[in-house]
A = this chain, B = another copy of it.
Amino acid sequence: MKLSEFDLIHSFKKFQNLSPHVIKGIGDDAAVLELDKKCYQLLTTDMLVESVHFLKGHPARQVGHKALACNISDIAAMGGKPLVAVVSLGIPEDVTAAYIQSVYQGMHACAKKFGVSIVGGDTVKADKLVINVALLGEVEQKYLVTRDGAKPGDRIFVTGPLGGSLTSGRHLTFTPRIKEAQWLVENCKPSSMMDISDGLAGDLRHILKASNVGATIREADIPKNAGVTTAQALSDGEDFELLFTLSPLRAKKLGVSLKIKAFEIGTIIAAPKVLLIEDISGQIAPIKAKGYTHF
């Protein structure tokens, strides 16, 4: 498989066959559907594969949690609330029923916490454990946030410290930022938002591309987990924090309210797709790599 995931998703776009009720198809955290007058519906899916997204030795409950939580994070990133999920399990012969029960317990605990109903699924044989969750959510039309609304001058925020998620195990236990996203859309509507799954630099590029703008971020202001370098904070995946932009006025409002944890890390600029970083000494240089950073 020579194509990168991004190229591949992009190539799928041409196979879209959108009906009038599809407001937004491939290319955001979730698809946006208009099947109701007041709310948009949001549909998203994520597949976790053993040895890629989790290891055989990882606690089953955490694996179950992650499988649902990463979908909830996608719904949060659109400003929505999760509603119902269907779960497919590909189960190898050497996996015990007790392990699968624990996966389900972890998923169920997460579902309960976020008001999700698990309403169906499929179980099949597989060589390695595969868990696919598809999640349907909804968002009041006025609260929908996509990736394409960032404007020059907007401030850039993240909801928590970045980096080291995979090595620390946080990728299995993270809390999807539903509460934060709800507060944001209700109180100071972001101009763009997404969740950080591929690393700050890579994901910010998605916003820049969708919004046709650029950005400067400040190394000193990027919140980092303990023991994490700036390079790791920029490129490590699976943080599942929210990345969002606010107009200067709304950024001020957020700063005053302090109702949610948020860190201002930079500013949107006009130059399309240009992504700059101001280092600790005040020097500004482009971040070159896609999804990675090489200083």
Contacts and interface: CB of A to CB of B under 8 A. Distances in A.
Nearest to A85: B43
A11 interface: yes
Nearest to A8: B123
Count this chain's copies in the assembly: 2
Contacts of A31: 84, 86, 119-120
Contact of A46 (B26, B100, B115, B122): B122
B17 A117 contact: yes
Interface residues of A, number: 76
A17 B108 CA distance: 8
Contacts of A44: 86, 120
A198 to B, nearest CB: 12
Nearest to A94: B1
Contacts of A173: none
A120 B1 contact: no
A177 to B, nearest CB: 19
A87 interface: yes
B22 A84 contact: yes
For the residues of A in contact with B, the DSSP-based class is: mixed
Contacts of A97: 1-3, 8, 11
A118 B15 contact: yes
Contacts of A84: 19, 21-22, 31, 33, 43
Contacts of A41: 35, 136
A104 B25 contact: no
A141 interface: no
A91 B1 contact: yes
Given A8-B100, A130-B130, A132-B88, A16 B47 contact: no
Interface string A144-174: 0000000000000000000000000000000
A16 B47 CA distance: 21
A194 interface: no
A17 B111 contact: yes
A216 interface: no
Given A36-B35, A120-B44, A121-B26, A1 B104 contact: no
Given A126-B52, A132-B88, A45 B101 contact: no
Given A5-B124, A15-B108, 4 more contacts: A31-B119, A45-B122, A51-B127, A126-B128
10 contacts: A16-B117, A17-B108, A17-B116, A18-B117, A19-B84, A35-B83, A45-B121, A47-B90, A49-B127, A127-B128
